[in-house]
Structures are given as C-alpha cells and as structure tokens.
Structure 1
Amino acid sequence: MLTIDVIRAAQNNDLAATAAVIEATDSRVAVLADQAARRMAPHGGARLADYREEFTQVGRIAVWELLSRFTDDTAEAFLRLTYTTVDNRLKDAVRDARNVVAGADENAMKTFAAMVEAADGDVYEAAKLAQTLPPKGRRLSADRAEAARLAWQGTVSIDKPMGGSNSSSVYQNSTLADFIPASDEEPDGEIRPKVGVGAASEAVHVLMRYVTVPKDEKAAAALSETLSACVWGYPTLPAVEALEDVVRVPSDPTERRYVLDAMAVLRSAVSTATEGALADDLRDVRDERMAESAEKHTRVHDTLKSMGQAQRDVLRHSFGIGGATDFGWGDGCDMDGLCEALGMTYANVKAHRSKGRKAFAKRYVAAVALTGATSYAAVLEAAAAANLKPAGRK
C-alpha cells in the first residue's frame, strides 16, 4: 500500500520508491489510458492498442512529473490528485491527437527529426521509419507521422512561381494562386447542415453497435427501420426524432458517451443554425428544440448550484455534467474511481447520490413550475416519485 513516506522518498529521487509509486498508480493510469484510447478508436482494431500504449506512457510521465510538485501530507491526497492530473493530461493528449492534421506536437517532431537523419534526408522514408523504428511508446501513428512530415517541410506560398526551365508556356509566368478557383459571386443562400453525410453515417454505425434493441416489438422495428434508412440516405428530422424516442442509452459510461455523441451528431445533421442565428420568419421546429434544450441545460446547472457541495459533486461526476469526469451510475458506475476522485467512502457516495437525486428532483420541479409549465411540472413530479421511492431505482 502506498504511504506518504514512500512518496517523500520518491520525491528525493529514491529509485525503488519511485518504482513503487508508479506501480501503485499504474492500474488507474491503465484505466484512464484505455478510456482515452477508445475516444480515438471507438470501434477497436489495431489502432486501439497503439493509442492505449501511447496514452499509458503519457499517463506515467504525468505521475512522475506530479511527484515534483506534490506538497500535501497524505497518500490519499496524492492518489486523488494523480487521478485528476492523469485524466486532464490524457484529455489534452486526445485533443492533440485529434487536431494532429493541423500540425505536429513537439514529441512527434523530435522523433521525426531523428528518423530524417536515419533516412539520409528522405522525409517520406522518415515518415515510414517513424512508425516502426523508434522504441515502443515513441513510435508515431500514421497520422502523426504525416503531420510531422508536413510540418518539417513547411508551407508552400501561393505566390511561389510554377514555372521552371522545362515548364510549358502556360506555367512559365504563373503562380499557385493563379490556379486556385475563385468566384466573386454571392452565395446562393442555401442553408447546409452542420455535419456532412459521412459523419452522420458514422454516427448511425455507432448506434448500431452500442444501442440495445428494445424488448417491445414495435419499438424494435421502428429502431431497425430508422437506422437502416439513415445508413443509406441522409438523416431527416422525423427519423432523428424517431430515434430519440426509441434509443435506450446504455448504463456503461463509455458506451453511453458513444451513443450520446452519435445522437448529437445526427441532431446536428438535421440542424442548420444555432439558436438565435436565424430571423424569426426563418425559424422552424429544429431551432425551437435547440432553444428548449439550452434552457433545460441552464436550469440543470442552476439547480445544481443551489445544492450542497457534496451532493452536487456526486451528481456531476455520476452523469458527467459540466465537464466533470463521468463515472456513471447504476450497474455501470465506477464506484471505486468515483470514491477516489471525490475523497469519499463508498457509503458516503451512495448516501449523497440517493439524497442528491431526490433533492435535485424536488428543486428542478419547482424551477419548472415557476416558468408557468404547471402540467409539465406535475408530470416530472410524478415520474420522480415513481423512480426515487425505495422500490424504484436509487
């Protein structure tokens, strides 16, 4: 078991103590690295293992760096800080990996520079070597290697002359800018969805993989027909609304995130503007639904702010509200991770979540009633009474 004495020894560069700290934190690093890897490769495959290995190294480095700035006096505080630090570092790593097409990170450039030397200056050969030659943990994925190559070569000015001694007369006095299509015409006013067909199709495939088929035959048939229709054609508003009615969100935190993200993509595929971006005479039901959703989000956050900190923190981390780490709830809840993140015992977390859900429901219903929607408030109150009583779900 990790103790504060071992942590202090590790801070004084004791190799055995440092190894003990790494070993004590390796399990949570592995869990967080796996979650980060699945954000990059949600459908598994060979790239999942590569990302998992890469993110595990990133997490271990974050733990090692944390040792130099840890000043608290308990091992429990160090473990809590470890979870938060590694989680935030891996979120940054995922963002960097997703944005790698726009550039290359510093570590990738260092690896690529070594490979350029090994390839005698051939940048294309260096991009291949960077994926296999470096030791594990330093190898680049295909995307990172390509981004590093582009960054190494630099940008090409659009004013660069196209001509040369062997160029045809067409290119002799031309630049790249002369061959870039341009138009002075005004846009035709067509309103396009926020995401394209490819993203929508990918979202449908995610739903096909992770959504549980309803037991009700009618709902199951509606789910199958709607998903099939969306795969072969662009999703329509009625189809997305039908999915929202029949899709059941999984209890597993990771799968739930995939499903919710996929539904958000489909909603964007049938939405053409953010709330408030259109004149009143151009509004339709999609914009009204977006405004209603924004209002609900604001009401949820305001309700949470009115609650005690312990109950508020447990609820935020149970449902991933406001950017908090989503540990889930019910059968798919990571109670150990939730307890460590909040510094609470199992019994405290369970009690705060049970009481917090009841307090939230009561305050949220009151907030809805204040808007004048008394009928809707009555429905919510009845649903809360049915779901939060001892015989219902805690």
Structure 2
Amino acid sequence: MTETLTLALIADAQTNGLEGTSAVLDAMTGRMEKLADAAARRMSQNGHRFEDFREDFRQDAALAMFEALPRFDGSTVDAFFAFMWSTIENVLKDKVREARNQGADEDALKVFASMLEKADGDVYLAEKFAQTVPPKGRRLSADRAQAARMSWQGALSLDYPASAADGPWDGPQVAPLVEQTATTFGVPEDLITPEDITSEERRQKHAIVNAILDAMSANQADALRYSYGIGGVETFGTGDAGDLPGLAAKLGLDIIPARDARVKGHKSFAKRYIKAVAKSEAEAKELTEAAAINLGRGGRK
C-alpha cells in the first residue's frame, strides 16, 4: 500500500532490492495509471481510440519511473511522489506530442499557423491553404500539411490536464507558433516591387479559391467549377444566362439537384471566402451583406 512506503524502502529500490521495488510499485501504480490514462484521453480527443494508447502509455510510465528512480535524492516520501509525478508526466507529454505531430516540423507548423489565421480558425481549410496559398518554396506537401494540422489540433490541450480529475496545471503556457520573421513573399520588404505585390495577390486569390473548392463537397465544388470554368474546364454559366441542363448532365445529376448544388455551393463558398480574405470585422460584414444581396436576388440560381 502507498501508506507503507518509506525512504528506506525507496533507497532499497534504488539498489534493486526486491522489498523496496515491490513497495515503490505498489505506491506508484495508481499514479502512473492516472497519468497514462490522461495521456490516452488526450489522444482520443484527436480522433484516435482511447484503448489504442492506454496500455502503451502505461508501459512508458513504468519505464520512466524505473529510469528516474536512481536520480531521486530528496528527503521525504512526498518529495519522491512529486518528483516521480513530474518526471512521468513530462515523459508522457513527449509521447503524446510525438504521436500527434506525425512528423510535423517547425517550419510546417509556422506555415500552417499563418494559414489558420487566413482560414479564420478552420483547421481543415487551413490544411488546404497551406498547400497552395504560400509562395513557392513555402507551400507544404499534402503529408506535411496534414501533419501540421494534426499537431495543431493537439497543441491546445497538450500541456493541460485532460479533465479536472487530472489535477491542476501550473506549468508553462502553450507558446504561439506564429513567428513573423519575413513578409508573406519570403523576401525583405524593401526588395518587393508593386508588380510583385499585384502578381502575388492574384496568385494568392486563385490559390484561395481552389483551396476553398477543394474543401467543399464534391457536387457543390464541381457545380461552381463548371459554372465559371475554373481550372480551364467547360463553362456553363450561372443564372438565367447559364446552361443548367448542360451543367446537370456534366455533373451526372437531375436538373433540380444540380441547381441546388450550385445555389448551396455559392453560399458555402461565399462564407468561406469572406473568412479568408476579410481583413477586419467591418470588411467581413460589408462582404457578407453584399453576398447576401447578390445571392438573394436569384442571380446565382
């Protein structure tokens, strides 16, 4: 039992004594399981199953305890428990971080963080943006963007208890990942020309449009692509001047579902695009009102 643990038994465990080792295990098992289960819950919040990680984390906790045992040099049993709790907790945080990062590197996380702001907090849209919006050389591959998104989803709760039952957290706060060390063009500001800005803004707008379409449902995205000829595809137009039967045939839908896909697609796209490009709440409100008027008049049917 935990009440029977003494400094003499801890010292015996430090020299691999059977009685001391048994006493330390008895005293620490419940604490290790609590920390391991909390780590497993953090992983389950990210779409994984709790059971997939609990046993692994319990083994990691036990290994961390035995590796830390020789390093304890405190003068009380309470100090021993505090030392072990902190040590095991830190080891498990690293294990959770490794599992969540899935190979995400610091540069990828910085790019993703900047795209997350542009996507107004939508992590899946930010994942798409990270692959297309940044300048060439800064864009992420699909794998790096996904890894950054998974890492980011875990960052908010990684350094905090998974629940109130895990106890208070008085450690360091999570540091922001965005560190603006250069402009979005990747070169010093004094070397950027007006022509660079115009070209880059145009490229970014195209990238945002395509990233948003990629994040939408297939029918709605394709309805917009074929309505406007995005990506060089056949163009069927919109509204009364559009070829709705032709669009429906291209989408493989009846006319009414094709019209609904286009109408809903316009609304979904407008909402996401405004989030991505509006630089202030006032601008977002203005763009939202303009979109509502434009869509409400039936011009996008």
TM-score of the two chains, using structure 2 as the length reference: 0.35
In terms of fraction of residues, the more helix-rich structure is: 2
Q: Which has the higher contact order (CA 8 A, sep 6+)?
A: 2
